[in-house]
Amino acid sequence: MPSLLRRLGLFDAVMLVMGGIVGSGIFINPYVVAQQVHTPFLILGAWAAGGAVALAGAFVYAELAARRPQVGGQYAYLREAFHPSVAFVYGWVLLLVTQTGGMAAVAVTFSRYFLEITHTPISEGAVAATALALLTIVNCFGVRAGSTVQSALMILKIVAIAALVLAGFSLIRPVTQSTALLDRPISITAFGAAMTPVLFAYGGWQTSSFVAGEMKDPSRDLPRALLIGVVAVIVLYMSVTFVCLRVLGADGLAATKTPASSVMRAALGERGATFIALGIAISTLGFLSQGMLTAPRVYFAMAKDGLFFSSVAWLDPRTAAPVVAIALQGVVAVIIALSGRYEQILNYVISVDFISFGMTGVALLILRRREPASQGFRAPGHPFTTIFFIASSFAVVLSTIAKYPANSAIGLAILLTGVPVYFLWSAQRGPRPL
């Protein structure tokens, strides 16, 4: 009987953490933040605050990884702290909406940049579906093949971001702008609105936990990778934002929807704009690769627990890859991409996504109470940093519900559909331990 192979080391895990966070958001979202808060101090402050939330989240997930180094990561944490039904509902939404809808949206973003660069006379949907299909096939060759592709794409992302930062620093004179820390009274509402795209851009570190079952030493390497990866992304994001402000100024940044392209165009002309378009295409492709590698391990864990189709737990005897789980995710993502409804679907699950973050923070509080003594990594500043992460996550949930009540209601309805499905599965196949 084949089992998952432990082939991933610390470097692979760091690349997975960074790859799960860095998509296209940092190349675009700085302008959204600048439209909400209007001075360099507050713009940089929003990205620094988002980094603090991400780091607090990394502390939470790092300790949970040390306590429960099991396949499925966040799914296992929720199962152990609460109940298998909570974990199942998380995996249910992940498959139907959160992961696949996000991958569909990113695949279409990739196709737009790909077509802009190549001028190939084919449709966006065809390019998106092809990209998803190819990455599905690559990951069916095993975790080593998928991780190698993912790491290579992450390195190319870092190169693109480094080129943007260096060009902005060395080839362009800084604009003259106000040095005032604040140009008007601070609006909590405006700063909260600025934090929303920031927190989305920082999200994704949690997906690295899904492949704990294929790491050589998950109790040691996954906590380290979470901390190294999140800190590295904070440095990258702050550098990009600083360069955008240096070149464009706060007003110029708020006025452009493509800040990275504007910086590179100012530095190197149209060649620079083409280069950064290529960098964004690679970044989105790398994000897709990471999602195709990590999330199927959750569906695999659900099937091993007897809460999903047993075939989803099947491993290829040659590659030890959960190919049915990988193919299932690929098919659902392709269907959503071709349907053209991915943006609408994403609007449904913004609040649901952050509910799972907050619940995972609560899971650490519960496990700490049950098992006070534990070996391995312990979250610095706990319980204060953990409560900060929980409060931040639920603040996003409440803000999203207040701003988009209809979409949030649909998202919560999708989440709740998982409850009767769980009881149907558990009645038919009693849960089995991993």
* pLDDT for the residue 181: 59
- Which residue matches tokens 């659900």? 302
Q: What is the pLDDT along the chain (434 residues), one digit of tens a residue?
A: 567 888 899 999 999 999 999 988 888 889 989 998 888 889 999 999 999 999 999 999 999 998 988 878 899 999 999 999 999 999 999 998 888 888 888 898 899 899 989 888 899 889 999 999 999 999 999 998 999 999 999 999 999 999 999 999 988 888 766 555 565 566 677 788 888 889 888 988 889 999 988 999 998 999 999 999 999 999 999 999 999 999 999 999 999 988 999 999 999 999 999 999 999 999 999 999 999 999 999 999 999 998 898 999 999 999 899 999 999 999 999 998 888 776 667 667 777 889 999 999 999 999 999 987 677 899 999 999 999 999 999 998 888 888 788 888 888 888 899 999 999 888 876 544 44
* pLDDT for the residue 434: 43
* pLDDT for the residue 179: 56
* pLDDT for the residue 177: 62
Euclidean distance between CA atoms 427 and 92, whole angstroms: 17
DSSP string for 131-198? HHHHHHHHHHT-HHHHHHHHHHHHHHHHHHHHHHHHHHHHSSPPPP----S-SSPPPHHHHHHHHHHH
- Provide the 10 A C-beta neighbour count for residue 382: 16
Q: Are 124 and 111 a contacting pair, CB within 8 Å?
A: yes
* pLDDT for the residue 184: 57
Euclidean distance between CA atoms 391 and 349, whole angstroms: 19
Euclidean distance between CA atoms 337 and 41, whole angstroms: 38
How many residues does the structure list for the chain?
434
Q: At what angle do helices 99-118 and 270-294 cross, to 10 degrees?
A: 150
Q: Are 139 and 292 a contacting pair, CB within 8 Å?
A: yes
* pLDDT for the residue 431: 47
Instruction: Give the predicted TM-score (pTM) of the model.
Output: 0.91
The SS3 call for residue 326 is: helix
Angle, CA of 365, 370 and 371, to the nearest 5°: 100
Domains of the chain, earliest start first: 10-428 (1.20.1740.10)
* pLDDT for the residue 433: 45
Q: What is the dihedral of CA 361, 191, 100, 216, to 10 degrees?
A: -40
Tokens, residue 238: 């702050």
Q: What is the amino acid identity at position 56? A: A
Question: Which helix (DSSP H) or strand (DSSP E) does residue 130 occupy?
Answer: helix 124-140
Q: Are 224 and 230 a contacting pair, CB within 8 Å?
A: no
